[in-house]
C-alpha cells in the first residue's frame, strides 16, 4: 500500500505524469489507458477509501496496475474522513436545502487532498477525475486542486477527452481490461460512510417513485422492527459514546448507520439546485448522519445561548452552501469554522433518540453545561422567575413600535382595523 511516507518518484521515461482519482470501476479503469493514448502521459491511480465499501484496496491497487497505471497510491482515509470532514459537518448541522447532509460534497476535499499529495509524491503535473461537465463534482475537484496546488493542471477525460460510456465499454473489451463491462446498472451511485447518493435512470422523471432496489443503507420504514432507543453522548459537539460505550467518530457514524438504517431513517428524495444551474432529482440515504444531526441540534438547543444560536443558523447555512459549492478550502469556510468551533464549547451532554419507522425522535436530553433552568421554567410552586418584572420589560421592549404607531396615526397611516363587527364567544 502506498502512502504519503513513500519516497517521491518521477518518470524515468521523461513523460509527463497524471494522477487519476481511481474508483476501480469501468470508467476510471478505462481512463488510465485512454489518458495515456490521448495525451502521451503516464498515469498514477489514486484510490481513497472513505467508507464506500466494495472491494479491498489491495485488489483495487492491482487492478489499476493491470490496466496500465505506472504507480498506484491507495489510502484508507475512513477515520480521517469521519474526524476531519464529517464531524465539522455535524457541528454545522449541515443540511443543504434543509434536507441533504452533503454526502458527496464532503468526500471530495479529502480525496482532493490525497490527489495533491500523490501528485507531489510522484512528480505529476496534472490531476484527472471522472466527472462529467454537468455535475457539481467537477467544480469540487478542480477548485479544490487549484486551492491546494495552484500549479497543477486539471483534466476530466469524460468531459475533455470524449470518454463516453459506450466508448469506455468498447475500449475495455478491445483491450481485455480486467473489469466488468456488461453489468447494466440504471443508477449512478456515490457512497461513503456519511451516506449514499443515487441518481439517473428512471429517477430522472421526477414523478416516478423510488423502487426498493434504489436503497441499500436503509430498510423499508413501512415495516420496521421494534423501536430502538439509543443514547448518544457528545463532547464539544462530537459524539464520544453510544449507550455508554466509547466510540470514535467513525464508529459512531457506522453504528448509527446500522441502527438507524434498520429503522428506515435517513431516506431523502429531493429536487436539488446544483451549482451549475441545473435542477436535479437526487435520492439519498444517510441514516447515521440524520440521526446524529437530529441529536446534535437538540443538544445545541439546550446548551447554546439564544443570540448565538440564532446567528449560528445563518452561519450553518452559509457553511453548508460553501461545502456544497466546492469551497472547502476557501478563506470564508476557514473563518466560519472558527466561529462554529467556538459555539461547540458547551455542546456536551447526552441525547436520547427513539428510532422507529423512518424517524429519529428526541425523547430526552441532559447536560452539565445546560442553560435550561427547571426552577425558572416550571409553572408549579417553587418557580423562581419573578413575574413582576415582565410588565416593565414589555413596556421597554415595545416602546419603539409604540412610538412608530403614534407617528403613523398622526400622519394618517394607521393600520386599518376594518369595519366588521367584533364577536365574542364564551365557549
Annotated binding site for L-aspartate: 132, 136-137
- Catalytic one of 108, 259, 267, 281: 108
SS3 (DSSP) at 326: coil
Annotated binding-site residue numbers for L-citrulline = 100, 136, 140, 188, 272, 284
Instruction: Please report which residue ranges of 208-348 form alpha helices under DSSP H.
Output: 249-262, 287-303, 306-324, 331-343
Instruction: Specify whether 188 is catalytic.
Output: yes
334 is known as an active-site residue: no
Binding-site residue set for ATP? 21-29, 130
Query: Annotated catalytic residue: which of 4, 188, 216, 335?
Result: 188
Per-residue exposure over 149-180, b if at least 16 CB sit within 10 Å of its own CB, e if not: beebbbbbbbbebebeeebbbebbeeeebebe
Report which of 51, 59, 47, 3 is spatially closest to residue 21, judged by C-alpha positions: 47
Which residues make up each annotated binding site?
Answer: 21-29, 100, 130, 132, 136-137, 140, 188, 272, 284
Residue 47 near residue 22, CB atoms below 8 Å: yes
**Is 27 tagged catalytic?**
yes
Q: Is 378 helix (H, G, I), strand (E, B) or coil?
A: coil
Catalytic, 137? Answer: yes
Selected catalytic residue, list 17, 27, 78, 104:
27
Residue 328 · residue 108 · CB < 8 Å:
yes
Closest CA to 302 of 376, 369, 235: 369
Report the C-alpha gap between 119 and 154 in whole angstroms.
11
Extract the C-alpha cell encoding 65.
496496475
Long-range contacts of residues 274-277, Cβ cutoff 8 Å, at least 24 apart = 274/135, 274/136, 275/136, 275/139, 275/324, 275/325, 275/326, 276/134, 276/135, 276/136, 276/139
> Can you give the length of the chain in residues?
427
Q: Which of 17, 107, 137, 196 is catalytic?
A: 137
Coil, helix or strand at residue 72:
strand
Which cell numbers hold the place of 63?
487492478
Residue positions annotated with a catalytic role: 27, 108, 137, 188
Amino acid at each position: 500500500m502506498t502512502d504519503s511516507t513513500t519516497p517521491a518518484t518521477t518518470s524515468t521515461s521523461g513523460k509527463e505524469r497524471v494522477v487519476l482519482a481511481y474508483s476501480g470501476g469501468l470508467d476510471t479503469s478505462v481512463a488510465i489507458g485512454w489518458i495515456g493514448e490521448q495525451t502521451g502521459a503516464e498515469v498514477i491511480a489514486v484510490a481513497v477509501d472513505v467508507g464506500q465499501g466494495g472491494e479491498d484496496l489491495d485488489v483495487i491497487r492491482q487492478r489499476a496496475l493491470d490496466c496500465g497505471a505506472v504507480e498506484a497510491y491507495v489510502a484508507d482515509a475512513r477515520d480521517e474522513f469521519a474526524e476531519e470532514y464529517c464531524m465539522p459537518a455535524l457541528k454545522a448541522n449541515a443540511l443543504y436545502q434543509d434536507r441533504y447532509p452533503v454526502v458527496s460534497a464532503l468526500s471530495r476535499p479529502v480525496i482532493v487532498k490525497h490527489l495533491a499529495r500523490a501528485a507531489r509524491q510522484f512528480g505529476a503535473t496534472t490531476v484527472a477525475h471522472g466527472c462529467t461537465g454537468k455535475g457539481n463534482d467537477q467544480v469540487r475537484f478542480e477548485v479544490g486542486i487549484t486551492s491546494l496546488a495552484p500549479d497543477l493542471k486539471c483534466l476530466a477525460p469524460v468531459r475533455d477527452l470524449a470518454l463516453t460510456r459506450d466508448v469506455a465499454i468498447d475500449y475495455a473489451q478491445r483491450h481485455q481490461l480486467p473489469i466488468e463491462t456488461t453489468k447494466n446498472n440504471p443508477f449512478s451511485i456515490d457512497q461513503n460512510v456519511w451516506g449514499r447518493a443515487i441518481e439517473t435512470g428512471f429517477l430522472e422523471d421526477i414523478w416516478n417513485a423510488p423502487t426498493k432496489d434504489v436503497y441499500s443503507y436503509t430498510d423499508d420504514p413501512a415495516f420496521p422492527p421494534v423501536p430502538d432507543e439509543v443514547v448518544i453522548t457528545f463532547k464539544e459537539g462530537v459524539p464520544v459514546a453510544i449507550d455508554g460505550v466509547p466510540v470514535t467518530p467513525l464508529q459512531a457514524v457506522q453504528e448509527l448507520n446500522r441502527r438507524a438504517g434498520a429503522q428506515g431513517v435517513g431516506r431523502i428524495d429531493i429536487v436539488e439546485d446544483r451549482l451549475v444551474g441545473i435542477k436535479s432529482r437526487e435520492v439519498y440515504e444517510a441514516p447515521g448522519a440524520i440521526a446524529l444531526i437530529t441529536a446534535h441540534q437538540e443538544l445545541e438547543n439546550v446548551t447554546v445561548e439564544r443570540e448565538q444560536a440564532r446567528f449560528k443558523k445563518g452561519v450553518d447555512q452559509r457553511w453548508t452552501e460553501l461545502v456544497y459549492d466546492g469551497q472547502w478550502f476557501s478563506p470564508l469556510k476557514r473563518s466560519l469554522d472558527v466561529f462554529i468551533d467556538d459555539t461547540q464549547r458547551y455542546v456536551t451532554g447526552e441525547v436520547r433518540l427513539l428510532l422507529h419507522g423512518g424517524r429519529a425522535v428526541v425523547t430526552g436530553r441532559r447536560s452539565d453545561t445546560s442553560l435550561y433552568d427547571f426552577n425558572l421554567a416550571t409553572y408549579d410552586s417553587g418557580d423562581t422567575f419573578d413575574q413582576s418584572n415582565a410588565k416593565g420589560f414589555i413596556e421597554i421592549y415595545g416602546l419603539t413600535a409604540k412610538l412608530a404607531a403614534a407617528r403613523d396615526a398622526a400622519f394618517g397611516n394607521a393600520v386599518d382595523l376594518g369595519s366588521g363587527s367584533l364577536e365574542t364567544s364564551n365557549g
